[in-house]
Amino acid sequence: MGYRVVVAGATGNVGREMLNILAERQFPVDEVAALASRKSLGTEVSFGDKTLKTQDLDTFDFTGWDMALFAVGSSATKTYAPKAAAAGCVVIDNSSLYRYEPDIPLIVPEVNPDAIEAYSNRNIIANPNCSTAQMVVALKPLHDRARIKRVVVSTYQSVSGAGKEGIDELWDQTKGMYVPGQEVEPSKFQKQIAFNVIPHIDVFLDDGSTKEEWKMVAETKKIVDTSIKVTATCVRVPVFVGHSEAINIEFEDFLDEDEARDILREAPGIMVVDKREDGGYVTPVECVGDFATFISRIRQDSTIENGLNLWCVSDNLRKGAALNAVQIAELLGNRVLKKG
Whether residues 118 and 22 share a domain: the answer is yes
Does 236 appear as a known binding residue? yes
Q: What is the mean pLDDT of residues 15-38?
A: 96
Q: Which amino acid is at 59?
A: T
Q: Please tell me which residue, 265 or 41, carries the higher pLDDT value.
A: 265
Residue 284: domain span? 131-158+197-314
Q: How far is CA 208 from the centre of its chain?
A: 24
Task: Answer for the pair 158, 140: CB distance below 8 angstroms, yes or no.
Answer: no
Rounded Cα distance between 177 and 55, Å, is 40
Would you state the pLDDT for residue 39?
Answer: 86
Whether residues 135 and 57 share a domain: the answer is no
Would you state the pLDDT for residue 338?
Answer: 85
pLDDT tens, residue by residue, 237-252: 999 999 999 999 999 9
Rounded Cα distance between 158 and 264, Å, is 24
Rounded Cα distance between 305 and 303, Å, is 7
Rounded Cα distance between 276 and 144, Å, is 26
DSSP secondary structure letter of residue 321: I
Indicate whether 307 pLDDT > 80.
yes
DSSP codes joined into one string, 61-73? --TT--EEEE-S-
Would you state the pLDDT for residue 282?
Answer: 98
- pLDDT band of residue 6 (cuts 50, 70, 90) is very high
Does 265 appear as a known binding residue? no
Would you state the pLDDT for residue 38?
Answer: 87
pLDDT tens, residue by residue, 187-199: 999 999 999 999 9
Is 191 within the bounds of a domain?
no
Q: What is the mean pLDDT of residues 203-216?
A: 98
Q: Which amino acid is at 138?
A: A
Question: Per DSSP, what are the bridge partners of residue 234?
Answer: 155
Please name which of 17, 27, 7, 84 lies closest in space to residue 333, comparing C-alpha atoms.
27
Q: Structurally, how many domains does the chain consist of? A: 2
Is 212 within the bounds of a domain?
yes
Would you state the pLDDT for residue 289?
Answer: 94
- Number of C-beta neighbours around residue 179 at 10 A: 8
Q: Give the CATH number of the domain where residue 149 resides.
A: 3.30.360.10
Does 150 appear as a known binding residue? no
Whether residues 43 and 147 share a domain: the answer is no
Active-site positions?
130, 243
Q: What is the mean pLDDT of residues 79-92?
A: 98
Would you state the pLDDT for residue 340?
Answer: 60
- pLDDT band of residue 59 (cuts 50, 70, 90) is very high
pLDDT tens, residue by residue, 87-116: 999 999 999 999 999 999 999 999 999 999
DSSP secondary structure letter of residue 75: H
Whether residues 103 and 143 share a domain: the answer is no
Task: Answer for the pair 150, 308: CB distance below 8 angstroms, yes or no.
Answer: no
Does 39 appear as a known binding residue? yes
Does 161 appear as a known binding residue? yes
Q: Give the CATH number of the domain where residue 67 resides.
A: 3.40.50.720
Does 174 appear as a known binding residue? no
Whether residues 148 and 274 share a domain: the answer is yes
Kindly state the percentage of the chain with pLDDT values over 70. Answer: 100
